[in-house]
A and B are shown apart, each in its own frame.
Chain A
Amino acid sequence: MTTMPNIELAKATAAEAADEAVTKVVARDVNVYYGDKHALHDVSIDIPEKAVTAFIGPSGCGKSTFLRCINRMNDTIPICRVSGRIEIDGSDIYDRGLDPVQLRAKVGMVFQKPNPFPKSIYENVAYGPRIHGLTSSKADLDEVVTMSLKRAGLYEEVKDRLTSPGTGLSGGQQQRLCIARAIAVNPEVILMDEPCSALDPIATAKIEELIDELRENYTIVIVTHSMQQAARVSQRTAFFHLGKLVEEGSTEQIFTAPQDKRTQDYITGRFG
C-alpha cells in the first residue's frame, strides 16, 4: 500500500460533534512495565463519551497494553506494573479503594479471538448478570439475555437454539456473542482489541455496523490494524508508535492532515 487508504468520511460530522462531547476516560502520564521492559511511555489521552475511539499503530507498539490498562486487565499479568493516572468519570481507577472486579463490570472487553465459554449461548450471555447478581428472577434474566442478544444483532440467528453450545457458532457469530456477553452487564465503556481480525469481510461488516449502533449508548475503544476500519467506525483516532502515543485527534484530521511525520508514514503504509 503506497497511496492513502481509501477513506470513507461519511461520519465526519459525527466526529466534529464528538469534539464537544463529555470526556469519559482521562489518562495522564501512563507508563507500563513488563518486568524490566518499558512498554508504554507517558501516555496521556482523553476519550470522549458515546463515541468510538480507534487505536492504531504498528504491531508491538502497546495498543493492547494501553487498552488493558483501562479495565485493569493488566492486573492479571504478574510481571506487569502500571504507573500514572487513569480516571473514568473523574474517579481514579487505580485508587486503592477501587475494586477491579467492579470496574470490569463497568468497562467490558471484547478480545481479538472470539472466546465464548464452553457453555450454552444462553449461559454465555447470562454469565455476567449471574456473577454480579444483576437480576432477581429467571424472567428478568431471560429478558436481559434476549435484550443483549438483540443489541448485538445475534438474536434472530440464535433464538431457536439458545441452549446449544456457544462454541458451535460461526466465528462472526461467536464474536457477536462475546459482544452480547459484554453488553449484558450494562457496561459504560466497551474495549475491543482487534475484534474483527479473525473474521471474514462479511462478518467484519456486521460487527462494524454493530459498533456504529452501540456508539449511541456506550463509549467504545477499538484497537485495529485496518486503517479503513478505523476510518469507517471511529470518530477519534490515536496513533501509537514504539510505546508512545504519537498523535491523537479526530479521525478525519488524523487521516487527512496528520501533524506528525510518523503518523503520515504509517497511514500511507510506509511502515508497520
Chain B
Amino acid sequence: MVSLFFLLIVAVALAAFAFGRSRGRAFVGGGARLHSLPVYHGLFLATLCVLPMLVALAVWTPLAPRYVEARTLAALPADLAPQNALEQEGRLREARLVALGQFAGTPDPGIAVAADAYSGARTEAEVALLVLGLAGAAAGFAFGRRRLAPDFRARNSFEHVTKVVLIACSGVAILTTVGIVFSVLFETLRFFARYPWYDFLFGLQWSPQTAIRADQVGQSGTFGAVPLFAGTTLIMLIAMMVAGPVGLFAAIYMSEYATPRVRAVAKPVLEVLAGIPTVVFGFFAALTVAPFIKSVGETLGLSVASESALAAGLVMGVMIIPFVSSLSDDVINAVPQSLRDGSYGMGATRSETIKRVVLPAALPGIVSALMLAISRAVGETMIVVMAAGLAGNLTFNPLEAVTTVTVQIKTLLVGDQEFDSAKTLSAFALGFVLFFFTLALNIIALRIVRKYREQYD
C-alpha cells in the first residue's frame, strides 16, 4: 500500500511538473518575457503537490497502526478481552494471521470477528491515506497554479525549496547522531544504576560472566574496565609506533623525493592497502604474524602468548599506514612551493628544508592525521578479535594476550542476550566510553591545530 502511494507521488510530481512547464512555455509562446525558465514553473508546481502528500504520509504512518489495533481490540467479544499486554499482543497477532489467511487451523469465532474488523479498519486507513494525499496534492496544485504568471519568481521560490531539502538532509544526519548518542547514554545510565560507575571506570578486574540461574556460582560479574582500557591503549600505542613514523616518512618520500613516475605507481599501491578488509588483516595477524612472533620470542627465550598484543598492534599499525600517509601527503603537498624555494634559495638541502620548513608548516594537518589514525586504531575490532585474545589481563607486556574495549563489546553482545542484564548493558557503557574518548581526541586535535595556527599564520 505504502509503495503504491509512493508510485502515486511520483506520478503526481511528473504530471504537475509537465503541467507547470507547459504553462511556462505557453507564456513564452504568448509573447511574455518570463522571470524564470519554464522548468522552474514545473518544479515549483511539482513541489507544491508532492509536499502535502509527504506530510500526509508522515502523519499517517504512526497513526494508522494504532487505529487498526484499536478497532480490532474493540471488536473482540467480552470473553476474549485481553487481561494484560502479553495477551493483547497474542490476540492481535491471531487476528492479523486470520485476516491474512495464514492462520493454521480453525480460529476462535471471537477472533474471526476481530479479524474482520482488522481487515475493515485497514482498508479504511488506506483509503484515508489516498484521500488525504490526493486532497493535499489537489490543494497544492490549485494554489500553485494560480500563482503561475510570466513575472512569477518561480526560480527564487524553488531556491527556498532546495534550501529546505538540504537542511532536512543535514538535519537527518545530525539527529541520527544525537539519537544514537542519547540511546547509548541512557543504556549506560541504566547500567550504572545496577553497577557503580567508579567500580566500572577504576575496577581492575573484568569478568562479565553473569549467572543465568540464580543458584549458579559466581552469580554476579565484575565489570572493572581498566584492563580493557589498558589493552586498548597498549595496542593503540604499538599500532601508532608503526603507523606514525612509517606513514609520515612514506608521505615525505612520496611528496618530496619520489619522481612522478614512482609516485604514480606507489600511491595507488598504498591506497590498495587501505582497501583491504580488516578481517583479512585479522586473518593475517592471527595466522601469520602471531605464530611468527611466538616462534621468534621462544628462540630468544621469552614466553610469548599465542595471541599477543604485539601481533595485533603491529598488524593494526600496517593497516592504518595508508591513513597517515595519504592524509599527510595531502597536507605536505599543500605547503606552498614558494616556501621550499625560499629555503633552497638559502642553500638548504632537501632534508633541511623538509625538517625546518615543510614539516613545521604542515604540522597541524599531520597532527590531525595522527589523531584520526588513533581514532581508527581505538575503534578497530576485527584484528584484535582475531589476534589479541579475550583475556582481560591487566598488563603492559606486549607479549601477553590482552583484550580491548571493542572486542569486549562484540563478545558481550554476540549470541542470545537478555536485554536488561548488567552484562549486556555494560557493552553500552563501554561504547559510551569509547565514543567519549574519540570525541575528546578530536577536540584536542582541533585545539592543537588552532593553537599552532595562531602562532604561525
Residues of B within 8 A of A116 (CB): 342
Q: In this assembly, does B344 line the interface, its C-beta being within 8 Å of a C-beta of chain A? A: yes
Q: Which chain B residues (244-267) contact chain A, with CB distance < 8 Å?
A: 259-260
Q: In this assembly, does A254 line the interface, its C-beta being within 8 Å of a C-beta of chain B? A: no
Contact A117 B352, beta carbon cutoff 8 Å: no
Contact B345 A102, beta carbon cutoff 8 Å: no
* CB-nearest residue of chain B to A106: B347
Nearest-CB distance from B341 to chain A (Å)? 6
Contact A178 B347, beta carbon cutoff 8 Å: no
Residues of B within 8 A of A158 (CB): none
Residues of A within 8 A of B340 (CB): 76
B353-372 to A contact mask, C-beta < 8 Å, 1/0? 00011001100000000000
> Contacts A78-B259, A127-B356, A185-B346 known; A115 to B456 CB distance under 8 Å?
no
Residues of B within 8 A of A51 (CB): none
Contact B341 A111, beta carbon cutoff 8 Å: yes
Contact A111 B346, beta carbon cutoff 8 Å: no
* Total A residues in contact with B, Cβ cutoff 8 Å: 28
> Contacts A127-B346, A167-B456 known; A113 to B338 CB distance under 8 Å?
yes
Q: In this assembly, does A86 line the interface, its C-beta being within 8 Å of a C-beta of chain B? A: no
Report the Cα distance A127→B259, complex, angstroms: 28
Query: What is the interface of chain B mostly: helix, strand, loop, or mixed?
Result: helix
* Total B residues in contact with A, Cβ cutoff 8 Å: 23
Q: In this assembly, does B336 line the interface, its C-beta being within 8 Å of a C-beta of chain A? A: yes
Contact B344 A182, beta carbon cutoff 8 Å: no
Contact A118 B360, beta carbon cutoff 8 Å: yes
Q: In this assembly, does B22 line the interface, its C-beta being within 8 Å of a C-beta of chain A? A: no
B328-354 to A contact mask, C-beta < 8 Å, 1/0? 000000001011111111111100100
Report the Cα distance A167→B336, complex, angstroms: 13
Report the Cα distance A4→B260, complex, angstroms: 47
Q: Which of A113, A119, A165, A182 contacts B345 (CB 8 A)?
A: A182
Q: In this assembly, does A50 line the interface, its C-beta being within 8 Å of a C-beta of chain B? A: no
Report the Cα distance A118→B342, complex, angstroms: 12
Contact B356 A109, beta carbon cutoff 8 Å: no
Q: Which chain A residues (91-108) contact chain B, with CB distance < 8 Å?
A: 101-105, 108
Report the Cα distance A101→B349, complex, angstroms: 6
Contact A131 B456, beta carbon cutoff 8 Å: no
Q: In this assembly, does B455 line the interface, its C-beta being within 8 Å of a C-beta of chain A? A: yes
Nearest-CB distance from B448 to chain A (Å)? 15
Q: Which of B260, B356, B360 contacts A131 (CB 8 A)?
A: B356
Contact B342 A102, beta carbon cutoff 8 Å: no
Report the Cα distance A206→B392, complex, angstroms: 71
List the 4 closest A-B pairs by CB distance, nearest first: A105-B347, A109-B345, A104-B347, A118-B456
